[in-house]
Structures are given as structure tokens and as C-alpha cells.
Amino acid sequence: MCGIVGYIGGKNASQIIFEGLTLLEYRGYDSAGIAISAEGKIDIRRSAGKLANLSSLLGKKPLLGNTGIGHTRWATHGKPSEENAHPHSDAEETIVLVHNGIIENYADIKRQLIKEGYSFKSETDTEAAVNLIKKHYRGNLFEAVQTAIKEIRGSYAFAILSKDEPDKIVCARKDAPLIIGIGEGENFIASDIPALLSHSKKMIFLEDGDIAEIKIDGVKIENSGSFVEREIKTIHWDAVSAQKNGYKHFMLKEIFEQPRAIEDTIRGRIDIEKNEVYIDECSLSADFIKNISHIYIAACGTAYYSALIAKFLFENFCRIPTDADIASEFRYRNPIFNGNTLSIFISQSGETADTLAALKTAKAANCPSLAVCNAVGSTISRQSDNVFYTHCGPEIGVASTKAFTGQLAALYILSLYFASKRKTLPQEKFSQYLKELWSIPLKMGEFLKKSDGIAKIAKTFSNKRDFLYLGRHINYPIALEGALKLKEISYIHAEGYPAGEMKHGPIALIDENMPIVAIMPNSFIYEKTLSNIEEAKARGAQIIAVVSEGGSLVKEKTDYQIFIPQTDEFFSPILSVLPLQLLAYHISVALGCDVDQPRNLAKSVTVE
């Protein structure tokens, strides 16, 4: 998820673009750049790090002109650095481009263009696009983009300049947002509303397949070979609420971004037609994978709960004995490494000190390491032998939501890839699991669309001081995660427990003041969990049950039911966590807590 801004008009383009980028910094902040087209050439300024670095560069070497594009980056391909920062250009700087999205076939495009003599300076997928447009450029940028787009697979929002056509900006979008702001004798483009609001409230939201040519005095849009008219909408948001896309908190926005975050993480990595899984960015050989005899996974907090779920996946899909450890404990327990051990480290930020220390423990034992991270170029990703990035975009809310389900998506992909190399799953089962994973973003979206009732349940229970979350098997880690969500944003004590363990002590706690959240989607152990719930109900507890659609039995035996779409039980955690995120969120709001920045917490715990 990156931020794009563009301007064409009579004012100082660089200043307008920079201000717009600062309002989009929540979309990415690991590097930034601006390009201005004037007097037959295009000047570019780029810097690694936050926008403040670009600002000081512009102070030393200002950009003058009235047409330009800018970008603030959230890296997906290529580490955060100046050479990977956008805008990117062809070698002659004829064409300059900024991009938000993921070009799935960039490696093929880049290979072919190198053969044809085009040179590359960066590790990005974006540079393949700018050189492909240059290849097709015959003096008309709009036509060159129309031709090049046909060869690009993946998601993109492009803003493009040509030094020979300084009176226009060309844009294109597919599966990544791009908006045109309509001004008086000037026009604007941006990835998101906040960057436009101070200039214009009249906006055109480009649609997938749109290619637009923006000039001072007008906009033309083409889609599938014909020119189209797009509605000009008037937006009345203020800049802050617009950064949250109209949601009250970043956490709520990020909960609803999960279908897209999973889609982006899966994109280009599984093919349900060919029954294939691709992890090109990892250099784990098939031989190494076939010979893995043990996996350690170390992580903290929510990431540790995704590690507990991964244990089920690696043991059931790949038949590899797997230990999931709390990172701060792992480093002190003198773990045993043999030649065929793989160590995995899961971290959204890639900067968690305890997880980094655990990684160092594995490296000291010469154990091959694999990081699952959301932040490209983060310390843990750089210090691991291999890294598998989730593509969730920046997670601003301290409570992790889309990064957690992104980790689960990554772990499904990795475990299915390992299973395909170790041939530990029957082909039919493998194919079924791939299709199930592919269907998850849609099922998440279906659930989220019908989740309004959870706020009402939350209001009923917001005065309680203790909760018990119960789950079994692969949903026990979800009980832990649900309890953590509630604790960290509402400050209510909550405990996740294996449902079968309740009778060995915690049942003494249960009465009408201790609500129970039971995570019990369809599963081979559903009846067993139901009987645990009956024991709790008999002692006066109020039960909130997370169950699969179609589950009837549960209505008589529980007080509140939240239904999630049917799925294979190994995939149920990525859906059963959603109601728990929303339950915690709405209880926190009902209590007036600081949802996005809860007390005592930090987004990345870089101290041990």
C-alpha cells in the first residue's frame, strides 16, 4: 500500500505534491520521491526514510514546475532505499512513473526487456512497468500506456509523465485506488481522499481498467478501448477522518481491510488452475524442505498465536514436528538444533527485540532461518536467511488485526508449499486446501458485511470485568488471540483457555459475572466443545458462541451466536478471529478507551 499524488496547473507542483504526500504517510513511509516535468525535462528527487528526509532534500535542491507526480512507499519488492524509491524512470528519463500495487509478472517482463537492451537500477517490480511503457512509446504517452498495460498482470495504480509531453499526466488503475481531484484551471490525482480535500471536494474515482489523461483543462478516460464518462462525486470528509477512510479508528479500518490484505498476500503465490504454490522469494531448496526433521517457530504476542496455528499446519500438512515458542522464552531454553532444523520467526514490524534475540539464538547454532514479516527491509527480515513478506500495508492500530490474518495466509502458503515438495498431502486434498485458501478473502468480506450485530453484543457485556475465551485444537490459539485483543484495547481481564481444560480448575471461576466466548466452528471436536459449554452454562455463565453458518444445535445451549462462513476446519482460524476483533473493538469504544493507541503499549516492542 503506497501513496501517490500528482498535480497539473499553474501553481508550484512540488509543494502541492509534498503536502499531499504528508497526508498519505499512513499508506507507507519507508521512502519517498517527487518528479517535476518542465522545460523539456523531468527532474527527480528521492530519499529513503520518512518524508522529512525528502523535505530536507527539496530544501537543498528545490523542484520548480507546474506538472508533477510524487510517491510515499510501503515496500513490497526491494528493500527501503533511495534506489528503490519511486518515481522510477527509463535510462533516458523519457518516461517517469510512480506505482502502488504488485506486478505479479514483473520478473518475466524485466528478463525480456533486459534481453532487448533495457537497463535496470532497482530491485522493484515498478521499474519493469516504466521500461515496458518506454518500449512502446512513440511520442504518445496515452497510447504507450494502453499498449503496455495489456502485458502487465497484477495490481497497479500508475501515474506517469513523459518529458516530451509536459502538458499531461497519464494514470491507470487496476485493483489499487486512484482518484482525480477536479480544480479550476488545475487538476490533481491521489491514491486517497486526504491528499485532495484541501484543494477540491469534486472527485472522480477511477475504476479498474481505466486509463486517464489529465490536462489543466480537462480529463479523458478510456476503458477497454472506449472513452467513458465517470461521475464527479463531492466529498465532505475532513482530512483526518479521510485518512481512516471514514472509519472511526485505524483498527476498525484495518479489520475491514483484511479481505484485501489477504488477497494481496496470496496474489501471485498460488494458482488454483495449475494447482501450484510459488514462494520465489525464498531460496529454500526442495531437497532441504524434503529433509526438514523439525521446525522451531518463535514470535511474540499475536504473532506467537499465529505460530501456534502454524504448528497444526506443518504437523498436519507436512508431517514435520513443530515447536511454537514465545520468543522471550525460546532464547533461554537451550533449544536443540540438528542439521535438518528450520527456524521461523514471525513479526509484523520485523523489529521486535525478543524475536530478534530468538533469531540470533538460531543463527548462532547455524540453523537456517525464515522470517514472516510485513515490513520490508526490517531488521528481522534482513537478518534472516529467507523472508516471506505479507502484503498487508502499514498497520497503524497498535492492536494487530490484518497483520495477524496476513501471517496466517503466509503460513498456509508456506505449509502447502512444503507439503507439495514433501508429497505429504494427497493431490485431491492439496487442491481442496488451495481452493479453500483462495476463497478466504471472499468469505471474510461476506462475514464483515453482516457483522453489525456484534456492536450490540459488545454493549451488553462492556461492564464485565473478566472474560474466558474457550477453544479447542486449531482454535485454541484463537481463544488466546481473542482474549489478548480484549485485554489490550479495553483493559478488561480476559483469559484464553483450551475448552477441555476448563474442568481442571478454571470452572471454579465461572458464574454470571464471567461471560464465556466459545470459538466453536464446525470441527471433529465440535460436540466435545459444546459439552464444555453446557458445563459452563449450568454454572450461570453467559455464552457468546462463534459458530459456523448452519449450526442449529447451538441456539438452545448458548446466549448469543455469531455465525462465520463454512470452511475447512484447518482454515477456520482466519475467519473465527474476525468476530473476536470486532467484539474487542466495540467493547473498547463502549468504554471510551483509546482504541488505536491503548495505554502502556507500543506498536513495535523494540526493548527486551
Active-site residue list: 2, 603
Min separation Cβ 348 and ligand AGP, Å: 3
Told to check if 604 binds ligand AGP by CB under 6 A, we report yes
- Backbone torsions φ then ψ of 328, nearest 5 degrees: -70, -15
Sign of CA dihedral 257, 258, 264, 265: positive
Give Rg (Cα) of the chain. Answer: 25
Nearer residue to ligand AGP within complex by CB, 169 or 300:
300
Residue 305 CB partners (closer than 8 Å, separation 6+)? 404, 477, 478, 480, 481, 484
End-to-end C-alpha distance for the chain, whole angstroms:
30
Contact, 278 vs 382, CB < 8 A? no
Residue 23 or 380: the one with the smaller Cβ distance to ligand AGP is 380
Based on the shown chain and the rule CB under 6 A, indicate whether residue 543 belongs to the binding site for ligand AGP.
no
| CA–CA dist 510, 507 (Å, integer) | 5
Residue 517 Cβ, how far from ligand AGP at the closest point, in Å? 17
φ and ψ at 498, to 5 degrees?
-65, 130
Query: What three-state secondary structure class fits 41?
Result: strand
Provide the minimum distance between the beta carbon of 380 and ligand AGP in the complex, in angstroms, as a whole number.
8
CA-based nearest residue to 284, from 315, 250, 313, 318: 318
**Cβ at position 600, least distance to ligand AGP in Å:** 11
Q: Which single residue is written with the C-alpha cell 510515499?
A: 72
CA distances from 446 to 256, 271, 335, 397, 578 (A): 11, 22, 43, 23, 11
Instruction: Give least dist CB 278 to ligand AGP, A.
Output: 24
Nearer to ligand AGP, 37 or 76 (CB): 76
Burial (CB count <10 Å: 0-12, 13-18, 19+), residue 241: middle
Q: Which of 81, 302, 390, 581 binds ligand AGP (CB under 6 A)?
A: 302
Please, what is the minimum distance in Å from the beta carbon of residue 334 to ligand AGP?
Answer: 23
> Per rule CB under 6 A, is residue 398 in the interface with ligand AGP?
yes
Q: Which of residues 462-491 bind ligand AGP (CB under 6 A)?
A: 488
**From residue 304 to residue 343, what is the string marking binding to ligand AGP with x (rule CB under 6 A)?**
----------------------------------------
Helices 573-590 and 402-422: crossing angle, nearest 10°? 170
Check: CB of residue 519 under 8 Å from CB of residue 479: yes
Closest to ligand AGP by CB, 37 or 355 = 355
Residue from 301, 477, 515, 579 binding ligand AGP (CB under 6 A):
301
Q: Does 347 bind ligand AGP (CB under 6 A)?
A: yes
Cβ neighbours of residue 246 closer than 8 Å, sequence gap 6 or more: 237
Q: CA-CA distance, 564 to 562, in Å (whole number)?
A: 7
Residue 399 engages ligand AGP in binding (rule: CB under 6 A): yes
Record the cell numbers describing residue 483, joined without a space: 482474549
Judged by CB under 6 A, which stretch of 206-214, 230-238, 300-308, 575-583 contacts ligand AGP? 300-308
Q: Which of 352, 532, 576, 581 binds ligand AGP (CB under 6 A)?
A: 352
Q: By Cβ distance, which residue is nearest to ligand AGP? A: 301
State the nearest-atom distance from the C-beta of 597 to ligand AGP, in Å. Answer: 11
Measured from the CB atom, the residue of 270 and 593 that comes closer to ligand AGP is: 593
Q: Which is nearer to ligand AGP, 302 or 588 (CB)?
A: 302
**Binding ligand AGP by CB under 6 A: which of 400, 532, 558, 561?**
400
Nearest alpha carbon to residue 30 among 524, 363, 381: 381
Cell of 334: 537451550
Nearer to ligand AGP by C-beta: 300 or 554?
A: 300
Instruction: Note the residues at the interface with ligand AGP (CB under 6 A).
Output: 300-303, 347-349, 352, 355, 398-400, 488, 604-605
